[in-house]
Chain A
Amino acid sequence: MSVPQPNPALRDKYAIAGTGTSRLGQVPDVSSLGLMEEASANALSDAGLTAKDIDGLLVRGPDDIYTFHQVLGERLGINASFSTTTTNGGASQILSVILAVMAIDAGLASVVLCGFGRDAWSRTHRTEQARISGATRSAAMDTQEFGPEYGLFGAPAMHAFGARRHMHEFGTTREQFGAISLAFREHAQRNPQAQMLGRPLTMEDYLAARMIVEPFCLLDCSLRSDGAGAVIVTSTERARDMKQKPVLIKGFGTHNNLRGWFDGDNMLRTAAGPSGQRAYAMAGLGPKDIDCAQIYDCFTYMVLTQLEDYGFCKKGEGGDFVSSGTLALDGALPTNTSGGQLSETHNEGMLQIVEGARQLQGIYGPDRQVPAAETCLVSGHGGNTVCHSSLILGAA
């Protein structure tokens, strides 16, 4: 069986033509759908379009809302020649962009809105039990054996198994996880939308933080947030006639370790490896050609392993890589330049696509802009910790 590779003829043929976000952070007066409407309206306006100009809708909300795309389409007042709701967790959002390209290339759509909205903060602050369980999805969705009866609850633990094994095999330290948390927190101080704006962090703060599920403390865990993001995908040719400078889709890839996080080496060598190789091959680029990165940061460890899996350093050397200033805005690989999900807002990767696109449009002032950024790698990870999607964007 040959190994699938995305078609390099699609390189630069499609583009992101607009980006938008909703209010972020704590927005209790509106549901995930309302947030998604805000982000959609802002992305359409950014591209100089109206809802009637789109014929594709690839969106996702909380997993307990059935056919989120239909409910959103109703609110946006549109029908679509191509639409669906993706269910690969944090890998879904880049997957939507990939599906948009595939649909346009196949003639099923021409202008597609991709997005994600969630009301995770509001959901976990409505009742005391919701606060304790921290569950952003309904209990009926959770496995009822081989986990909860042993006290396994929540996403931090799943990822912490990988962190613990990485520490054991490679000598990775908590301070190295902390370096990731600190780097993104510093970036958030430059982002007026960031939830952690005005709350800078030191290594002393990190090491003194409350432990959640060891080896993770509170500051290894991403934020609980309400918010939504959206991007408009269309052909580069069409995007050139729209309002903004297009952002080229140079490469993409996916890989899903469906056998599970606990199988084989999956928690140490994630699906980012094969997914990234596909994206690099399609883009005709390698890790050394990437100017900045937006890496899915549900937990600090996931950034560390993905940086290794994407080939920015060798497997096992992620700890040294992240603690040498590499991830800073003036470092060798400015990463999560908005503050990411650890310090801007947790939006299951959607805002990281938005941030990557905006960096390549060069819209920011000198305090936040990655100088002369021509390429950006964006990653998405989720779906029981094994689904991965990669996107390489380029300046037009």
Chain B
Amino acid sequence: MAKEYTKPLPRPAPESEPFWAAARDHKLKIQKCRSCGNHWFPPSEHCPECLSADHDWIEASGRGRVFSFVTYQRLYNKGWEGEVPYVVALIELDEGPRLLSNLTGIAPENVACDMAVKVVFDDVTPEVTLPKFTPA
């Protein structure tokens, strides 16, 4: 029997629902302004560059780099029991926006700033998929 998923699940703001719906379809979507062309994340109603409310949710390339990362050596939440050490990385997408995620397919000691990564999708429950990243 599959182990019960005990990590916290996202509790999205209404503005973020399209991001999580796309993740369920294994797509990484971010907002793009129709007025000035700016890409942004995390989600909000108006473009942070020009305040236009006119935007599209576009599918990002899914490629980027590790801008910075931290390695947890201490357990903060029982959901990660037996999984320490683990890495939380700040990913800078090729489109510009940055988002936090985990890295898969690489040991924590091999992670480096500026390494190229690409998105993968982790279906953690039937309802929730987390975009994660792996070396490109």
A contacts, CB < 8 Å to B: 132-134, 144-154, 157, 160-162, 164-165, 168, 210-215, 259, 262-263, 267
Contact = CB atoms under 8 A, between A and B. Distances in A.
Contact of A213 (B11, B73, B78): B73
A259 B48 contact: yes
Nearest to A268: B68
Interface string B47-69: 01000000000000000000111
Contact of B16 (A145, A160, A161, A213): A145
Contacts of A168: 68, 112-114
A363 B8 CA distance: 51
A311 B46 CA distance: 36
Residue of B16, B68, B86, B112 ringed by the most chain A CB atoms within 10 A: B68
A164 B113 contact: yes
B75 interface: yes
Interface string B119-136: 000000000001000000
A132 B76 contact: yes
Given A145-B16, A168-B112, 12 more contacts: A146-B10, A149-B9, A149-B130, A151-B72, A153-B76, A165-B67, A165-B68, A165-B113, A211-B71, A212-B73, A213-B70, A213-B73
13 contacts: A144-B8, A146-B42, A147-B100, A148-B77, A149-B9, A151-B72, A151-B102, A154-B76, A164-B68, A164-B69, A213-B70, A214-B72, A259-B48
Given A161-B69, A165-B67, A212-B74, A150 B88 contact: yes
Contacts of B69: 161, 164
Nearest to A263: B98
Query: Which 10 pairs, one residue from A and one from B, show the smallest C-beta to C-beta distance?
Result: A144-B11, A153-B76, A168-B113, A211-B73, A214-B71, A145-B10, A165-B68, A160-B70, A161-B68, A148-B8
B106 interface: no
A132 B130 CA distance: 25
Nearest to B67: A165
Contact of A149 (B8, B70, B78, B85): B8
B53 to A, nearest CB: 19
Contacts of B130: 149-150
A213 B77 contact: no
Contacts of A263: 98
B77 A150 contact: no
Interface in B80-130: 80, 85-86, 88, 90, 98-102, 112-114, 130
Nearest to A217: B73
A150 B13 contact: no
B68 A152 contact: no
A151 B86 contact: yes
Contacts of B114: 168
A151 B77 contact: yes
B7 interface: yes
Nearest to B20: A145
A259 B8 CA distance: 26
A165 B11 CA distance: 29
A152 B67 contact: no
A215 B69 CA distance: 9
A213 B72 CA distance: 4
B68 A151 contact: no
A151 B113 contact: no
Given A132-B76, A164-B70, A213-B74, A152 B88 contact: yes
A132 B113 CA distance: 29
B70 A145 contact: no
B100 A213 contact: no
Nearest to A152: B88
Nearest to A165: B68
B136 to A, nearest CB: 18
Contacts of A132: 75-78
A211 B75 CA distance: 11
A262 B48 CA distance: 15
Contacts of A148: 8, 10, 77
Given A144-B10, A165-B113, A168-B68, A150 B80 contact: no
A259 B42 CA distance: 11
B81 to A, nearest CB: 10
A139 to B, nearest CB: 10
A132 to B, nearest CB: 7
A168 B73 CA distance: 20
Nearest to B84: A151
Contacts of A157: 70, 72, 88
Given A144-B10, A168-B114, A213-B70, A153 B77 contact: yes
B73 A214 contact: yes
